[in-house]
Structure 1
Amino acid sequence: MRFQQSCRMAVWLVIAPLLLGGCSILREFGPVVEVHTLDAGEAIELKRGDILTRGKLSDATTQTIRVAALDAQACAKPISADCVEALAAVTGVAADRRLAALSELWLAQAQAMKPGSEQQAAWLETIRYAYAYLFFGDHTPGERAFEDRQTQVRDWYNYAVERAATGMFEVRQQMSTQLSAQTRWNIAGWELQLDMRSARLPGSTAVPAELLPASSLSFRGLRSLYRRDGFGAELVAVMPDEPLTSAPTRDGHPAAKRNQQPLPWSEMPAPSMTILLHPDGDDLDSVLHTRTVRLTVHDPYVESAIMLRGQRVPLAANFTAGYGLWLARANFNRQSLRSLLGREGGIDRPHVYLMQPYDPNRRIIVMLHGLASSPEAWVELANEILGDEALRQHYQIWQVYYPTNMPIALNHAMIRRALGDTLAHFDPSGQAPASSDLVLVGHSMGGVIARLMVSSTDQSLVQLAADRSRLTPQQIKRIDPMLRFEPFPHVSRAIFIAAPHRGTSVAGGRLGRWMAGFIRFPVTVLEELAHTLAPNAAASSHESLGHIPNSVDNLDENDPFVRAAADFPISAQVNYHSIVAQANAEEALVDSDDGLVPYRSSHLPGAQSEKVIISGHSVQQSAVAILEIQRILKEDMTQREEQLTPR
Structure 2
Amino acid sequence: MSEAVHFSLPGGIVPALGRVMARCALVAVLLCLNACAMVEVSRVKHNDYANERRADVIGAARLSDGTVQALNVVALTADSCQREFVGCTDTVAQSPGLTDEQRLSALSELWMGRALDGDHANDRTPMDAATLNAYLESARYAYAYLFYTERPLAARAFDLRQVQVIGFYNYAVQRAVSRFFETLPQLGRQWTRTELAGWTVLRPETDLRLADDARAPAELIPAAGLRFRGLRNVYRRDGFGSDFVAVAPPHAAGNDVAWRDPDYVSMTGALMFDGDTLAEVLATWQVQLVVRDPYRDDTLTIAGRSVPLGANFTAAYGVWLARSGFASQSIRSLLGREGGIQTPRVLLMQPYDPNRLVVVMLHGLASSPEAWINVANEVMGDEELRRNYQVWEVYYPTNAPVAINLANIRKALDATLHHYDPAGTARASRDMTLIGHSMGGVIARLLVSSSGDKLWELIPLRPNLSAARRARFRARLSRYLQFTPMPQVDRAVFLASPHRGTPYAQHRLARWIGNLIRLPVGVLKEMASLTELIKTDGDEGNNAPLLRIPNSIDNLGDTDPFIIASAGLPISPRVHYHTIVGVYKSKGPLQDSSDGVVPYRSAHLDGADSELAIPSWHSVQETPAAILELRRILRLQLETVKQTP
Q: Tell whether 2:164 aligns with 1:170.
A: no
Partner of 1:633: 634
Alignment partners' CA distance in 1, 2:463 and 2:314: 48
Alignment partners' CA distance in 1, 2:48 and 2:630: 43
CA contact (8 A) 2:273 2:281 kept: yes
Q: Report how far residue 529 of structure 1 moved.
A: 5.3
Instruction: Note the residue ranges of structure 2 that are not aligned, 5 or more in a row.
Output: 1-8, 120-126, 536-540
Equivalent residue letter for 1:492: D
CA contact (8 A) 2:104 2:142 kept: yes
Equivalent residue for 2:423, pick from 423, 429, 446? 429
Q: Report how far residue 331 of structure 1 moved.
A: 0.5
Alignment partners' CA distance in 2, 1:415 and 1:608: 25
Give the SS at the match of 1:196: strand
Bigger drift between 282-291 and 181-190 goes to 181-190
Equivalent residue letter for 1:393: R
CA contact (8 A) 1:465 1:476 kept: no
Partner of 1:306: 300
Q: Report how far residue 557 of structure 1 moved.
A: 0.4
1:312-351 matched pairs, under 5 angstroms: 312-351=306-345
Equivalent residue letter for 1:147: D
CA contact (8 A) 2:345 2:394 kept: yes
CA gap of 1:387–1:498, structure 2 versus 1, over 3 A, is: same
Alignment partners' CA distance in 2, 1:289 and 1:468: 89
Bigger drift between 514-523 and 564-573 goes to 514-523
1:168-567 matched pairs, under 5 angstroms: 168-173=180-185, 175=186, 178=188, 181-242=190-251, 262-466=256-460, 473=470, 474-527=472-525, 530=528, 547-567=548-568
Alignment partners' CA distance in 1, 2:167 and 2:531: 63
Alignment partners' CA distance in 1, 2:492 and 2:96: 67
- TM-align CA RMSD: 2.6
Give the SS at the match of 2:440: helix
CA contact (8 A) 1:508 1:558 kept: no
Partner of 1:105: 110
Partner of 1:139: 151
Partner of 2:620: 619
CA gap of 1:580–1:181, structure 2 versus 1, over 3 A, is: farther
Q: What is the percentage of aligned positions where both structures have the same residue?
A: 47
Bigger drift between 567-576 and 200-209 goes to 200-209
CA gap of 1:124–1:530, structure 2 versus 1, over 3 A, is: farther
Deviations 1:420-463 (A, max 9, x none): 00000100110001100000000000000000000001212223
Partner of 2:44: 38
Give the SS at the match of 1:278: strand
Q: Report how far residue 205 of structure 1 moved.
A: 1.7
Q: Report how far residue 15 of structure 1 moved.
A: 9.8
Q: Report how far residue 480 of structure 1 moved.
A: 1.0
1:81-96 matched pairs, under 5 angstroms: 81-96=86-101
Q: Tell whether 2:140 aligns with 1:128.
A: yes
Partner of 2:164: 152
Equivalent residue letter for 1:600: R
CA gap of 1:604–1:208, structure 2 versus 1, over 3 A, is: same
CA contact (8 A) 1:203 1:266 kept: no
Bigger drift between 506-515 and 383-392 goes to 506-515
Instruction: Note the residue ranges of structure 1 that are not aligned, 5 or more in a row.
Output: 249-259
Q: Report how far residue 46 of structure 1 moved.
A: 1.9
Equivalent residue letter for 1:29: A
Give the SS at the match of 1:578: strand
Deviations 1:504-551 (A, max 9, x none): 00112322222211110232443355568879x9xxx9x996532111
Equivalent residue letter for 1:621: E
Q: Report how far residue 310 of structure 1 moved.
A: 2.5
Q: Report how far residue 572 of structure 1 moved.
A: 0.4
Alignment partners' CA distance in 2, 1:266 and 1:4: 108
Give the SS at the match of 1:455: coil
Q: Which has the larger radius of gyration?
A: 2
Q: Report how far residue 613 of structure 1 moved.
A: 0.4
Give the TM-score normalised by structure 2: 0.91
Partner of 2:6: none
Alignment partners' CA distance in 1, 2:94 and 2:545: 88
Alignment partners' CA distance in 1, 2:390 and 2:488: 15
CA gap of 1:510–1:69, structure 2 versus 1, over 3 A, is: same
Bigger drift between 602-611 and 88-97 goes to 88-97
CA gap of 1:468–1:603, structure 2 versus 1, over 3 A, is: farther
Equivalent residue letter for 1:96: E
Deviations 1:246-274 (A, max 9, x none): xx9xxxxxxxxxxx871101122111111
CA gap of 1:193–1:465, structure 2 versus 1, over 3 A, is: farther
Bigger drift between 279-288 and 472-481 goes to 472-481
CA contact (8 A) 2:247 2:264 kept: yes
Bigger drift between 394-403 and 34-43 goes to 34-43
Alignment partners' CA distance in 1, 2:351 and 2:342: 25
Equivalent residue for 1:57, pick from 60, 63, 66? 63
CA gap of 1:33–1:448, structure 2 versus 1, over 3 A, is: same
Q: Report how far residue 4 of structure 1 moved.
A: 7.1
Deviations 1:96-142 (A, max 9, x none): 00100000000000011142221111110010000000011231111
Q: Report how far residue 6 of structure 1 moved.
A: 5.0
Equivalent residue letter for 2:231: L
Alignment partners' CA distance in 2, 1:623 and 1:229: 25
CA contact (8 A) 1:454 1:570 kept: yes
CA gap of 1:139–1:637, structure 2 versus 1, over 3 A, is: same
Equivalent residue for 1:66, pick from 51, 54, 72? 72
Partner of 1:568: 569
CA contact (8 A) 2:223 2:244 kept: yes
CA contact (8 A) 2:400 2:520 kept: no
Q: Report how far residue 182 of structure 1 moved.
A: 2.3
Equivalent residue letter for 2:640: Q
Equivalent residue letter for 2:607: G
Give the SS at the match of 2:143: helix
Q: Report how far residue 192 of structure 1 moved.
A: 1.2
Alignment partners' CA distance in 2, 1:569 and 1:599: 20
Q: Report how far residue 149 of structure 1 moved.
A: 0.3
Deviations 1:388-408 (A, max 9, x none): 000001100000000000011
Alignment partners' CA distance in 1, 2:351 and 2:502: 38
CA contact (8 A) 1:348 1:525 kept: no
Give the SS at the match of 1:399: strand
Equivalent residue letter for 1:522: P
CA contact (8 A) 2:366 2:398 kept: yes
Give the SS at the match of 1:203: helix
Alignment partners' CA distance in 2, 1:122 and 1:76: 14
